[in-house]
Amino acid sequence: MSSPKAVAISQPGKKPRVAFWDNARFALIVLVVIGHTLSTVRDDTALAYGIYTYIYLFHMPALILLSGYFSRANTSTKTIRATVQLIVLWILWEGIWAAIDFAASDRTPGKSFLVSPSWTLWFLVTLVTMRIVLPYIAQLRHPLIVSIAIALFGGAVPVINTEFSAARTLTFLPFFVAGWLAHDRGWLTGEWFARPRRWVRFVSWGVLALVAAVFLLMPNLQSFWGIDDWLTWRDGYEWRFEHAPIGDWVPRQWLETTLGGVAVTAALLALAAAMTFAVLGATPRRRLVTTDWGARTLSVYLLHGPIIWTLREYGVIDAIGALGELGVVILVVGAAALASLLALAPVERAFRWILTPNVDWLLSQKRRNAQPE
């Protein structure tokens, strides 16, 4: 990406980082932590439900688009090493979560171990799957259109659910492919993106504010439609309509369920796309105090899970959530502070052994000795 020197962060011996991407990463990872913090108390107040749902409309599609932007449709040494490292990281953290579960509840791994990813680990499984299939999708004439079709009709297949994060992978595939295409075809190069005009920022903030305003004007949304159950994208259309019907609309026939599911999913994904690009338009291009933290989002993503889980288990989050709207504000601020803490360099260094495990021993001698791209 050709960007003005003003937004590049130069580090001796390393390829310069672009401040914009790190700013976007950090903003999105903060939303991830906030969403997980509010997850178990989102039904307690309209404010918690609104914030949770608003975040889930776009934060994971945006993160996956960024992941696609920095992925390559090849089998180079760098790509293979990165994919293998994600697989090792997933298995390692499945073991960590199994150990936590055993220490807390004396439970041993069940039949779903390594089949249904533990809580936040679905993201790693989804990224691995997308990176593996990307070289094949890239050979298609219209990869984005095909990925959209897969996302829309995947929910009609009942067996596609949480196992190996299949449902989420198919749903978010268009964002990953769009990110890859944006880099591969240079859609985001040039001054128009590196230094967007004032009207672009105005429209971007306007889109984000408009969606927020709609949520404020619909305080009874939860009773009309449990949209949060749709936005987790874990199950098929039949399950979603059964557990989160839209008003009195509960399709009974397969065709109606499929067509209805496709229509609702298309609308939600279109909204997610609009909000994702609004986030990109609104993200500052200059270096900020938090810019460096955006380079350590993996640390935040993996480490915040056990902390939030512990706070849940000891009733801390429930106790704060019981304070009502004040409690929601406290939880949001606390989650943002936690994300900032976990993004600090000393934290990453302290936990590097479980964040970036060495996988060279798994690669062939030829791969280990190959020069980096």
Q: What tens digit of pLDDT does each residue of 334-370 get?
A: 999 999 999 999 999 999 999 999 888 888 765 555 5
Domain coordinates in residue numbering, the chain: 5-369
pLDDT of residue 243: 92
3-class SS of residue 74 = coil
Q: Are 183 and 65 in contact (CB under 8 A)?
A: no
- Please report the pLDDT score of residue 365 as a whole number: 65
Q: Considering the entire predicted model, what is its pTM?
A: 0.92
**Helices then strands (H, E): number in the chain?**
19, 2
Query: How many CA atoms does the CB half-sphere of 293 hold within 13 Å?
Result: 22
pLDDT tier at 2, thresholds 50, 70, 90: very low
Could you report the per-residue pLDDT of 287-338, keeping only the tens digit for each? 999 999 999 999 999 999 999 999 999 999 999 999 999 999 999 999 999 9
Which residues make Cβ contacts (< 8 Å) with residue 234, sequence separation at least 6? 161, 162, 167, 168
Residue 3: the pLDDT is 44
Helix ranges (DSSP H) in 19-111: 19-38, 46-56, 59-69, 77-105
Which three-class secondary structure state does DSSP give residue 34? Answer: helix
| Top-confidence residue, 228 or 13 | 228
Q: How confident is the model at residue 372 (pLDDT cuts 50, 70, 90)?
A: very low
* Residues pairing with 8 in the sheet: 18
Between the CA of residue 279 and those of 59, 64, 65, 144, 240, what are the distances in Å? 9, 13, 12, 21, 28
CA-closest candidate to residue 208, choices 297, 279, 313:
279
CB atoms within 10 A of CB 310: 13
